[in-house]
Structure formats: structure tokens, C-alpha cells
Structure 1
Amino acid sequence: MAGKAEKWIRFLRQYGPIARNDNMYDEHIRRSAARSKMKPLLFEHPKEKELLALFEPKASGRTSVILTGTAGDGKTHLCRIVWNKLGGSNEDWETDRVYFHIDTEIAGKETTVHIVRDLTGLPENGESGGFGTKTDLLEFFSHAIFDDDSNSVFLIAANDGQLVDTWARLNRSDDDVDNTGRLLEDLLFNNQQEKVGSRLKLFNLSRISSAELFDRSLDAFVNHEGWQFCYDEAESETALFGDNCPIRRNYELIKEDHVKNRLRDLLELCDHNEVHFSIRRLLLLLANSVLGFAGREAEGKKVNDRLLRAVDVPRVIASNQIAKASIYNNIFGGNLTRYRRKSLDIFNYLGRFRIGHETSNRFDNLLIYGHSDVELQKYFDQFLSNDPFYGADSTYLAAQEQYIEGDDESGEETEVFLELLVSQRRGLFFKIPDAMEDELSPWQLTVFSFAGEYLSKIVKKLRDGQRIEKGVLARLTRGLNRVFVGMLVSSDRELLLATGLSGSASKVSCILEDRVSVAKRMTECIEILGDETGFPILRVSLTEKIWVDLHLTLTRFEFLSRVADGVLPGSFSKECHEDILSFKSRILTASQQRREELGIEEDSMVFRLLELDELGHPFEEFVELGE
């Protein structure tokens, strides 16, 4: 009979990238938990308290709520919590029904709460409470949110993209239906929660920081009672949760600062690249990180879904394949097939950092020759030799020696070693502590070599309310100038606004239209601010009322930083180049607006021709056209 530890591992696999993924629905994972007699991975949702407060007897008013976001953001979970809070039974909720209603007291008044836990799943026909069709229900909702005397409020869960499409298909000749459609478009487009004139709040759960959700997910994951079952039932070194168990090693590593903090950095960088991960995907990432195995079988027995079970552990240890369970590789879905990895957005986006594939001569010399290099040996020992699980084991050392000697005629062994290098580079990315970043920057192992600076000198500074260093602004300005002008400009104290004969998007723009000082001069300046959510904004201010903003995503920061250093990063240059030229066009328009407001007349017969000296410093020559 399986013990609690084995049952916990079996249940945990349900959160991972298995073929039949029960964590696709909140109800399914709860049923699986009930069968296993295990508690599901739960934590307080960031919007839970705010949502529940709207359905209290002492609420300030009666308000309908729409929960939207990507699949797995917790919409169904929150609906169930509200249903239970209002006195609804679990038995009713466990049915296949989509629509529920219950009478309660909200804001001191008797109120009927209508809950639609999945707008897509709501049948077009067939009775839903007192509503004959889906259209009837949605039209009633549209009237209720504009009627202050209505005794009905709604809680509706809908995935991104469904809301606007759903209301577009309704009869928009009804004023309330039409107004509801416009209201939803306005709230979604402007990232607002509510608007005066309606009794509706919209919670866009996909706007919640993935890094914040990761903190909560990780806390629930590592503190689940199932892990204590594993410790309590560990029988030997080669069994589940014994000293040599890779599952135990991965679980203990995910709790260590150097792993969880570096992983959180990656997720925060995704936030600042405008990429959101749902709770479901974060739990999948954690389960795969700990249970993943980059092999099809161990001792002739298949490892199903490439996720370890209790029975697999002794076989993996006996066959000397522990390194194939490396958490550093699993974090990026390295244990999965390429097709499966690409089909899961979280591994797809983490893969775009190219960790494991990006490298430098110094890092590869460390991994290949470090054991015999006087300068690099201390790093090799620290990060590889001293790691008995995922460092330089006998398999790695043998493949390394064969690679150095170059006697692999078929090339098969070389391919194996190159794959091992990918895993070791990923290990280095997590193992190198922050204190050593000046010696060995882990960000050099990614396609975003300025990512560490973006976090420490932009994101953290804004979060702490500190000013951005002048050197960072200067480099970004130099990068902007080189894109704006199309030449290797060295100037970083002022922004050069130039056009070409074919317009502002010319590859080389040598007709100077205006200059904007970086340092504050009168009302002019260039600065980096945080918007209402803390997202970095590069602002070019021309007057107190005229400015132009650019969302300073990680990708744009990396692009401008590399251009400023004289490198055009082809991997993402086209899209970024177009974004920056669009930014330039908007600044030129604002500059024209400033001249009009100040009453500055331009001499159409005189042009300022922009030229560079040998050091790239700009100067201008005036060219006057004859009549």
C-alpha cells in the first residue's frame, strides 16, 4: 500500500506537464486531491480580500464584478470562494452547472447574487436560473449595472478576449447593452477597474505581477505538508527522499536563495517585457522543476511524462542518471520534448532568454578547461566539482576529456557533451552569487546582457523611490541618438531630433529639427519614471504640459544599451528599431506643438545640416536655399 509520501508525489505530478493535465480546471484538481486525500496547493489570491469585501453585508454599495484574465489566473477559484462565503454548498458547486444564484445581504439590502463561473461554458440555450437563454442573462446584467435600484449583482468569470466579442454579438440597439460593450472596451483598453456611472468593477487578473504570484505559489509549494511526509517516510539513501534522491535535492534547492531569487528575477523581467504567467503555469513550473527528468527510461523502465515518481527514484540512482533530473535544466523545460516545451508558454518565454545556449569564451573555458586552468580552477571547483548532484560527475568528466582530445570521429559523443554544456551553463546562471557578478556576470549567459542592470539600476531604484543614475540615462540617450540620426553619434547630454529628405523614418536623418536637454533646463528634461503600476517610463519633457512617454521594457532597454555600445543586436533589432522610430515621430510632433504654442516661426528657406566630427560629436551647418 502506497504511503503518504508516494501519494504526495503522485498528486504533485498532476500540476506538472503531464499528458492528461488535471490542473486545467479548479474542480478537477480538487477532485484529484480528494481521491489522494491530499490538500491542494492553495494560497490567498492577491485580489481575494478586495473581491470578498464587495459581497459583505457592510459593503459600501452593491457592485457587479467581472473577473477576466488568461486561463489559469484563478477566476474559477475566486468564484468558488465567493459562493462558499455567501453560504453556497460545495455539493452544488461540484456539479457541471455554470450559472449559480443565491440570495444574501449586501450593503444592508437584500440582494440576489448571480455567478457565472465560465462565460464561454454558459450554454446559449437552456434555462439558467430564471433566464431562458444566455442572451437574456447578459442583457439583464447590462441593465442591472446601470440601474441603481436593481437588487441583483453579478460575478462573471471570462477569459481574455471573450468579453468584447461576446457583447459585440449581442443586440447593440439596446442602449444598456451598447453602453456595456463600450464600457468593457474602455476598462480593458485603459487598464481601469471601474468608471463613474456604472455599478461594475473589472478585475483583470492577467495584470497581476507574475513575480508576486510566484512568491505566493512558491510559499504554498515548499510549505505543503506533503514534503514532511517525504522526510518522515524516507527509508534509505537510494529510496524516495533519501540522501541521494534527486527529488529531495531539487526541493531543497528551490528553497535556497541563489535559486529562488534568480528564478524570481527571470519572472520579474518577464513582467517588464509585458509577459504574464498564470498561477496554473507557475505551479506547473514548480512541479516540473522538482520532478523533471530528461530521459525516457531508467534501468529499462519508462519514466512517464518525464516526471519522476517514487518508484523511479531507485532506478535513476542505480543507473547513474541523477544529473538528468537537474533542477537547473528542468526550470527551462529541458526535461521535456521540444514540441511539449514549445507548447507551454512559460517554457517558451523562459527559453527566449537563451540561457544554456548563450555563452562567452570565459564561461566555456571555465566549463571545458577549468579543471586544469590555474586562473579558472577555483571557479570550476566551486561550481562544478563541489556539486555532487549536478556538477562535474563521472559522465561529464569522461565526455569532457573525449571532447578535449577530439577523438570522436562520428560526432555523436561531441553532441552529447554539447548538451551537457547547456545544462552546466544553466547551472552556472543560478549558482553564481550576486557578490560575484563583477567577476562572472550570470547575465552574460543570457541574450539580455544588461538585464541585471535593468533590475538593479531601473526597477529597484524606482521601487525604492530613488533617482536613476546619470550614467544610465546618458547611455540610453546615446542609443536613442544613434537610432534617431542613423549615425554613430557620441552625444549623450542632449537628444537630437533629426529627419531626412524622405521623412522622420529615414535610415540616415541629417536635417536637425530640435534638441532636447537631458539635464533639466527650463522645462526640458529626459528622465525615467514609474507609471501607476511601477513600470519604467522613459519620458521626454518639452514643457510642463507637453511630454512623450516610452514604455521602457527590458527588450527596449537592452536594444538601446547595445546600440549605445556600438552593437546592433539583430536578434530583436527590427521590432525595437521600429518602436524607437515611432517614439521619435511622436517627439517631433510634440516639438512642433511646442513651437506653435510659443509662437516660434520657422524659416522654411534655412536648414540645419547635422554632421559629426571624428569622435562622433555632432555639429550643425546652416544651409540657406536661394529664392
Structure 2
Amino acid sequence: MNGEQWISFLRQYGPIPTKDNLYDENLRRRSIKTGIPQILFAHPYEEQVKRCFQTGSVRGSVILTGTAGDGKTFLCGRIWEQLDGDPTQWAGQDTHLTLPIRISPTRTVRLHVLRDLSAWVPLQGSDWPEEKLALMTLFCRSFFEPEPDDIFLVAANDGQLAETLRRLPGSPDAQRAKEVVEELLVSDREHIDDASLSLFNLSRGSSARLFDLALDALLMHDGWQKCRDEAAAPDQLFGANCPIRRNVELLSEPLVRKRLRALLELCDQNGLHVPVRQILILLTNAVLGHPNVKDHVMSAADVPRVIAAGERRHASVYSNIFGGNIPVSRRTNTAIFEYLGRFQIGYETTNRIDNILIFGESHERLQQQFDTLIKSDHFYGADASYIAARRAYIEGTDEGNEAGEEFLQLLVAQRQALFFKVPESEVDEVDLWDLTVFRYGGEYLNHVLAPLSENRIVRRGLVGRLVKGINRIFTGMLVSAENELYVASSASLSQARVSRFLEERISVQPKHTGEQVELLSVNGHPALRVSLGNGRSTNFVMTLTRYEYLSRVAEGAMPSSFSKECFEDVMAFKSQLMGELQGRNGQFAREGEITFSTLELDSNGAARDRQIAVLL
């Protein structure tokens, strides 16, 4: 292996049209052929799966499920190797392999590995071949045998597994197996009583954790040392002017890593799982991306040409992270770039940030930040093209406005760079998270996720702000209260935009009756729990989007201006809460009259209720 061969091998992990990165088998074969090691690391689920096949602890079959690219086939290969399976056999084309394994000193069973169920089952509408039907029947039966002679390790996408079981001709074992698998998938459990089966949903894992492992494996790969050993002239591969070298150095910086990891952690909290394959696409593109080379991913031969043409700045790792080097159509069809694009980093800004970028060089109070964050970056900062475009933009000398359009594009790139450059000490000063659509994203990370992960209490003021936002949505009025949750309805419809009839006041502070509102961790995600006493409570999962929505509503945004989906989520939560209240309170009314409470607001938004009695 030399540096040029390593870069050529690394390109296969990137967003290239050949799509070799779609299949672990392709990368494994290329690795064997070239002698270049793959980017390898222990999958977070590897130890758990390995324990299922250790002597004395085998409990039955194992299913690995998840979305495409989660590393199911790769993990099957690791288990195969650790069980002393033949590497040559694994490198072949067969999707069904068998291996005898010892599960106790006196007993051996046969392990069947289906490393890609979707490639093994017959096409939709086709009949089942007799041998495959027999194997699937054996698979289903193995769930319910106390000591099966055949056990299975199966890799299957989420939908493929349930669909395959549904397609099997009807039999009691197949029906029972389908019910067991569906229950495990729906309940997000790994085991179920009376079934010799373990199911691991790899898409439930942390994208941020996968990012840590993948980045370490990439940065520590021996290929980079080969590049360093062979580096000669500044304008050659891994020379002083090489953008690939600079991008690797930047990915190694703790601040860049921390900010990129934060984005992936927020993706997790928004229900956007990023599989291993997509993370490797992201990291490869970050290092090798360039819009003006073949497939928009650099090879070793591209480096001298990029440097000679003065196009080094187009290889910026800060833009490559968001797929800025590839066409929009491919960017939106690549999951990781579509997910990161939702943050709109580069397209959101503030006056202060743009003043630094446009006027900072000559501004007395902003000059230091301009010099530190932009001018000092000789690779991707204020180069000659940026200065010229800025001058033309400020002076307005371009009648066709082409220079202005060019500078606006350069501003997008510089804003993206600032997101990864601004030091932690200046985050609040420049309102860093205003560079994204999630202005409260930093607060969500540092003051919600962090304390909950350490079993600490979230600040009462943050809970109060969420309650204030919910009150405004529940009532449709500009309620300012943060210490009580108002559950209100209209005379005819609980989902009405304006609800003046008060059903209940719920104290945020803990009461002796059991009432309280708190933010806590439920299944690894923040949730607002409203406790009503008598053992009754309702949870509202606090995703990043919901947190942003409620915070903005509390600060004065109209409930319908941010997200219709969020509004409907909160109203559904209100319906659940009213159902719990009705279950707790029952129906109370004095004989001969019905009493209502209506909400009224004063000029400061303080709510008070007024009793109205209706005689029957």
C-alpha cells in the first residue's frame, strides 16, 4: 500500500456513483485484492451478539435488524470469524452458510448464517423453493424448541423480516414466529419469554457513538502514515498545500469533532438515525470532497491540479460536511446530507455574524474576531477571491450582480466554517446556534441532554418555559404563567384553537397530592412528564424540534407559524392529558347545576379563572 492507493481505496467509501459502499462484501473483496485494510472498528452491539454464541450461554437464534447500512452483514462476518468460520467461505457469494459450534462441553449445534435475508428469499410473487421453505420452517421452529439442534444468525432490514414471515405458507410455527418477531420489534425488546430468540435492532443505537468509533478508525488508519512518509513537494499529495491533508488535520481537532458530533446527537434526538454506512460517506466526503473533480471526490492525481488551479478553497471540510461539493439532487438523496441539511447551517445567520464576515476586517470591535476566525485561516478563510468578491459586493460595482451572487455563496461557506471555528468561550457572545434553525439546540444539548444523562435535574426555569409554551397552545391565548399547567377546552371541541373553559390547573412544583411537571429521561430520550396523582401521569417526548417549537412559542412566536406537525403533537398530548384527568376525577356535579371555570387574562398575561354555574 502507498499513499495513492490508500486514497483510491478510501474513495470507495464516499458518495460515488458506483455505490461500492452499499455492500460490506464489495469493500471486503477489494480489501483482500489490494491488501489495504478496511476502516474497521468494533460495532457497539458486537459484544452483546458475541455473548449469544459463547459456550455455556447460547440461548437460541439471533436476528440482526435495522435500516440499510447499519452494519448487519458486517457484524455477521465478525461473529463468523470469531467462531472460527472459514474466511474464504465468507468471501464467496453464498448468502447461506453453516458452521458447527460447541455450546457446551458435551453438545454441538449447527449454526445457519443468513447474512442478507433480502438477497436470499425468493422475489415477491415467486413460489418458495422446497429447500428454502424447509430452512425457514426450521428457523421458525427453532424459536420454540428448548434445545434446538439448528440455530440461526440472520441479518434482515426492518420490513424485510416481517414480510418474509408473512409470506410463508401458513403453519402454527410460522404464525407464532411472526407474532414473536412483531412483538419484539414493536416493544423494542431483545428477548421474550418462552422463545429461544434474541433480536437486536441496530438502528436503536446511538449515531453519535458510531461517529466516534468511525472517526477514530479513519484517523488512525495506516494509510495516512503512508501519505505522510511519501509527502514531498508542497503541491503534491499530503504536501503543505494539500487540501486532503488539511481536512484530515481539521477532523482531528477537538472543536470540529465536538460540533459535528453534536449535530449527530441532535439527529438522534429528532428520530433521525444515521447508520454506519452514512457516517463513513460523511467522513470520506469531508476529507476528499471537491466540486470540480471526477465524481466530486478527489483522487491523489487531482491534488496537484486543484492546487495549481487555485481551487483549494473548494475542498473545504466545512462545506463538504454538508455535501456542498456534490449536486443538489445527489445531496438530497443521500440520507446523511439530507439530515444535516435540515439544520440549514450557512443559510441562517445574525447581524453580528454577517458584520464580522463583511465588515470585520475594518471594524474596531469586530476586527479581532475576524482576524482569529477568518483571516488567520489561510486554507479556507479570507483568501484573495473572498476579499475581491466582498469588495465588489460592498461597492456595488457589478451591474449584472454576478459578483454579488458569488459573494453570497462565499458567505454561506464562511458561515458553515464559523459553526466549527467559534471557540466555546464565545458561543454565547456570537449566538452560535443562531447559525441553525434550532436556536435552542445548544441549550438542549448542554442543559437538557447532559444533565439527564448524568441523572441530574433539569433547571426549573427551562421546564417553566416549556410549560409556558404549552399553556399558550392549550389555551390559544398569550398566557404568561410558568408555574401551573392550564388544561383548557372550548365549549364544543377540545382541539379548538382558542380554549377558554378551564378543565384543571396542574402545579409544576411537586404537591402532596402527587401533582408535578418535570423533565426526565424515558428510554434514553427527554420527556415532559405531567403527574396527576393517584398513580396517573402522561409523558410528552421532548424531541429537539418540539423543544425548539415550545421555546419559541413561549418567547412569542405564533403556534401555527413554526410547525403544523408540532402543533398537532401538542394537541394530541392535550387529549391524552384530558383523558387521564377524566379518569382521575370522574364526573362530579351538584344536583341541579353544572359549574364551569373560564379563563381570563390581564394585560400582563396572568390568568385567572371565573366560576360560572348553570342551573339545570
TM range (shorter): over 0.9
- Secondary structure of the equivalent of 1:277? coil
> Which residues in structure 2 correspond to 1:13-412 (within 5 Å)?
13-59=11-57, 61-108=58-105, 109-124=107-122, 132-172=130-170, 174-294=171-291, 296=292, 303-412=293-402
Partners of 2:207 and 2:560 lie apart in 1 by: 28
Partners of 1:29 and 1:572 lie apart in 2 by: 43
1:610 counterpart letter in structure 2: L
Kindly provide the CA deviation profile for residues 292-342 of structure 1, in whole angstroms up to 9, marking residues without a partner as x.
113x2xxxxxx1111111111111111111110000000000001001101
- Secondary structure of the equivalent of 2:357? helix
Partners of 1:550 and 1:602 lie apart in 2 by: 34
2:515 counterpart letter in structure 1: E
- Secondary structure of the equivalent of 2:118? coil
2:219 counterpart letter in structure 1: V
Q: Structure 1 residue 87: deviation in Å?
A: 2.6
2:499 counterpart letter in structure 1: S
Partners of 2:137 and 2:451 lie apart in 1 by: 48
Instruction: State yes or no: 1:426 paired with 2:416.
Output: yes
Q: Structure 1 residue 485: deviation in Å?
A: 0.4
1:432 counterpart letter in structure 2: V
Q: Is the CA contact 2:166–2:178 (under 8 Å) kept in the aligned structure 1? A: yes
TM-score (norm. length: structure 2): 0.96
Q: Is the CA contact 1:62–1:106 (under 8 Å) kept in the aligned structure 2? A: no
2:182 counterpart letter in structure 1: E
Partners of 1:207 and 1:254 lie apart in 2 by: 26
Kindly provide the CA deviation profile for residues 364-412 of structure 1, in whole angstroms up to 9, marking residues without a partner as x.
1111111111121111111111100011000000000000001111122
- Secondary structure of the equivalent of 2:355? helix
Partners of 1:547 and 1:413 lie apart in 2 by: 59
Paired residues in the alignment total: 608
Partners of 2:515 and 2:306 lie apart in 1 by: 65
Kindly provide the CA deviation profile for residues 346-373 of structure 1, in whole angstroms up to 9, marking residues without a partner as x.
0001000000001111111111111111
1:466 counterpart letter in structure 2: R
Q: Is the CA contact 1:595–1:601 (under 8 Å) kept in the aligned structure 2? A: no
2:594 alignment partner in structure 1: 605
Moved more, 359-368 or 397-406: 359-368
Instruction: State yes or no: 1:584 paired with 2:599.
Output: no
Q: Structure 1 residue 573: deviation in Å?
A: 1.4
1:617 alignment partner in structure 2: 606
Q: Structure 1 residue 262: deviation in Å?
A: 0.3
Instruction: State yes or no: 1:500 paired with 2:524.
Output: no
Partners of 1:564 and 1:484 lie apart in 2 by: 12
Q: Structure 1 residue 148: deviation in Å?
A: 0.6
> Which residues in structure 2 correspond to 1:533-612 (within 5 Å)?
534-568=524-558, 572-596=562-586, 600-601=588-589, 605-612=594-601
Instruction: State yes or no: 1:8 paired with 2:6.
Output: yes
- Secondary structure of the equivalent of 1:542? strand
Change (3 A) 1:220 1:456: same
Change (3 A) 1:483 1:84: same
Q: Structure 1 residue 465: deviation in Å?
A: 1.3
Partners of 1:567 and 1:40 lie apart in 2 by: 50
- Secondary structure of the equivalent of 2:361? coil
Q: Is the CA contact 1:478–1:489 (under 8 Å) kept in the aligned structure 2? A: yes
Q: Percent identity?
A: 45
2:33 counterpart letter in structure 1: R
Q: Structure 1 residue 600: deviation in Å?
A: 4.8
Q: Is the CA contact 1:385–1:392 (under 8 Å) kept in the aligned structure 2? A: yes
1:95 counterpart letter in structure 2: G
Q: Structure 1 residue 544: deviation in Å?
A: 4.8
Moved more, 244-253 or 617-626: 617-626
Partners of 1:521 and 1:602 lie apart in 2 by: 27
- Secondary structure of the equivalent of 2:362? coil
1:300 alignment partner in structure 2: none
Partners of 2:560 and 2:21 lie apart in 1 by: 39
Kindly provide the CA deviation profile for residues 388-447 of structure 1, in whole angstroms up to 9, marking residues without a partner as x.
001100000000000000111112221111110000000000001111112112211000
1:477 alignment partner in structure 2: 467
Partners of 1:346 and 1:489 lie apart in 2 by: 39
Q: Is the CA contact 2:589–2:595 (under 8 Å) kept in the aligned structure 1? A: no
Q: Structure 1 residue 133: deviation in Å?
A: 3.6
Q: Structure 1 residue 123: deviation in Å?
A: 4.0
Kindly provide the CA deviation profile for residues 519-571 of structure 1, in whole angstroms up to 9, marking residues without a partner as x.
00120000111123x21111000115210011110000000000000013767
Instruction: State yes or no: 1:526 paired with 2:526.
Output: no
Partners of 2:115 and 2:506 lie apart in 1 by: 52
Partners of 1:304 and 1:602 lie apart in 2 by: 80
Partners of 1:570 and 1:433 lie apart in 2 by: 35
1:442 alignment partner in structure 2: 432
Q: Structure 1 residue 215: deviation in Å?
A: 0.5
- Secondary structure of the equivalent of 2:610? strand
1:561 counterpart letter in structure 2: S
Partners of 1:445 and 1:569 lie apart in 2 by: 22
1:527 counterpart letter in structure 2: E
Q: Structure 1 residue 620: deviation in Å?
A: 1.0
**RMSD, matched Cα:** 1.5
Kindly provide the CA deviation profile for residues 113-163 of structure 1, in whole angstroms up to 9, marking residues without a partner as x.
1111111111439xxxxx834332222111111011321111110011112
Kindly provide the CA deviation profile for residues 177-230 of structure 1, in whole angstroms up to 9, marking residues without a partner as x.
111111111111111111111000100000000000000001100000000011
Q: Structure 1 residue 279: deviation in Å?
A: 0.6
Change (3 A) 1:559 1:82: same
2:281 counterpart letter in structure 1: L
Partners of 1:544 and 1:264 lie apart in 2 by: 42
Partners of 1:124 and 1:161 lie apart in 2 by: 15
Q: Is the CA contact 2:269–2:543 (under 8 Å) kept in the aligned structure 1? A: yes
Structure 2: runs of 5 or more not aligned: 124-128
Q: Is the CA contact 1:62–1:153 (under 8 Å) kept in the aligned structure 2? A: no
2:126 alignment partner in structure 1: none
Q: Is the CA contact 1:62–1:107 (under 8 Å) kept in the aligned structure 2? A: no
- Secondary structure of the equivalent of 1:120? helix
2:473 counterpart letter in structure 1: V
